[in-house]
Each structure stands twice: as structure tokens, then as C-alpha cells.
Structure 1
Amino acid sequence: MADVHEPEIRSYNMSRIKGKDTKPEMLVRKYLHAHGFRFKLHDKKLPGKPDIVLPKYNTIVQVHGCFWHGHEGCKYYVVPKTRTQWWLDKINADRQKDKDHERENEKYIS
């Protein structure tokens, strides 16, 4: 099945997908701030630049998108019908990076 968009339009659409300040991340940040928690955002000193870092509590909060991180059993995680193997490889690589960063960040949390 061919892509329904021209390459220029697809490129533009993909460039609009954000990595920071996403709606779920903003909801979590708003909740934390309203309940008195103060935090750092995307701390470059930590592996994987976690979304939210609560230094006072040595805690990291990652807000993962269901599609990009392959949440099994989630209604938002659907493998695309085109270039399926490429997408599966990418999503599996994201999952592996998540595990690696989690393992490395345990040193910070401990």
C-alpha cells in the first residue's frame, strides 16, 4: 500500500511531531506543580534526558508515548500497515534504549 501523502507533505507532518512538551507530559507537569512538587525538565546530565526530574526525592518521571515506545495492549499502539518491519525495528530499538536508560538512571535514584 502506497503512502497517501507526497514525500514533502509526509516530511512536514513528521516534523510537527514533538519530543518535548507533549500533551501527556504537560498534564503530568501541571499535576505535579499544583501539588507542590518542583522539578527539572529534560536534565541533560542524566542518561536519556528524562522528561521530569524531582531532585529533592531522587526521582525520575518518564512520560512515554504509546506508539513510539510500543505499549503492548494499549489501544493507541498500532503497528503501521506500511513499512511494518522498519517500524517494528524502530519501536523495538526505542524499547531497548528505554531499558538501558532506566538501568543507567538507577544509580541516580538509589
Structure 2
Amino acid sequence: MLHCQGHNPDEIENNVACRSEEHRAELLLRSALHRNGLRYRLHDRSLPGSSDNVFPRFEAVLILHGCYWHFHGRYRCMVPRSRRDCWLKNFESNHLRDQKKTVLLLKKGWRVPTVWECALRGKTARSPY
């Protein structure tokens, strides 16, 4: 996920000022996987899209999507009122990149389950915030 607050639009457009950041949802998921004996590699650059959680033993890549940035369409996924066209373009490009990454992984024979951030919330789930 990217953190781009406080930077001008030109920097954000080029992803120069954006840096990767660990979020609570990612940490919750990873700790649950580890607690259940599943070992993984993080950000394997040999795979398309520098995949998040790679399980070489199972030839699987577990992808965690934040509901806002990947526009899941749930109640927390409202498009901001200002610069609406820019945001819609951003969400669409994220979606297309996600699809391309998934197709490439599937063609290479990897399993690609996707977990949405909202799935970590429920009656028994702890909030990632």
C-alpha cells in the first residue's frame, strides 16, 4: 500500500514520493498465518508485481487488498468529492494492475487467493485500525 499524504500531485503521479508502508490489516493477517504454522516470503521480486505473501511450498501467493485503494465497493470505499475524475482514474488503474498481476501469476502456475481488508473485520475479528 502507498502513503502519499503531504506531497504535490506531480510527485504522486510519478510515485516518487510514495513509500510502501505496513498496515495493521497486513500485520494481523501475517501474524495469524505465522501463528498457524504457515511460513511465507514477503515481496518476492522474482514474481509479477513483487507479490505480498508468497508460499513457495504451496505455489501460492496470498494477496491482501485494502478496500479503499483497491475500491472494493463497500461502505468505506467512497470516492472523494474533490478531484473525483483523478480518483476514479487511480482506482481503475489499481484494478487493472491487480488483474494483470493475477493473470500473470496464474499463467505461471501459482494459486492466487485474495483477501479483502473488510474480511478481517467481523464479530470475532479485531479491527485493523
TM-score normalised over the length of structure 1? 0.81
Report the Cα offset of residue 108 of structure 1.
3.8
The equivalent residue for 2:76 is 76
* Counterpart secondary structure, 1:86: helix
The equivalent residue for 1:87 is 87
The equivalent residue for 2:41 is 40
The equivalent residue for 2:7 is 11
Distance in 1 separating the partners of 2:6 and 2:88:
19
Report the Cα offset of residue 60 of structure 1.
0.5
1:63–1:20 CA distance, 2 compared to 1 (3 A): farther
The equivalent residue for 1:3 is none
Instruction: Give the number of the structure whose alpha-carbon radius of gyration is greater.
Output: 1
Q: Higher relative CO (CA 8 A, sep ≥ 6), structure 1 or 2?
A: 2
Report the Cα offset of residue 76 of structure 1.
1.6
| AA at the equivalent of 1:68 | W
Alignment gaps of 5+ in structure 2: 13-17, 112-129
Give CA-to-partner distance per residue, 1:4-40, whole Å, 9 cap, x none.
xxxxx7329x8xx863421111111000000001100
Alignment gaps of 5+ in structure 1: 1-8
Please provide the CA RMSD for this pair: 2.3
1:78–1:19 CA distance, 2 compared to 1 (3 A): farther
The equivalent residue for 1:97 is 97
The equivalent residue for 1:55 is 56
More displaced stretch, 94-103 vs 17-26: 17-26
Seq. identity, % = 30
* Counterpart secondary structure, 2:97: helix
1:45–1:20 CA distance, 2 compared to 1 (3 A): farther
Distance in 1 separating the partners of 2:57 and 2:104:
19
TM-score normalised over the length of structure 2? 0.69
* Counterpart secondary structure, 1:42: strand
* Counterpart secondary structure, 1:94: helix
Distance in 2 separating the partners of 1:52 and 1:20:
15
Report the Cα offset of residue 88 of structure 1.
0.1
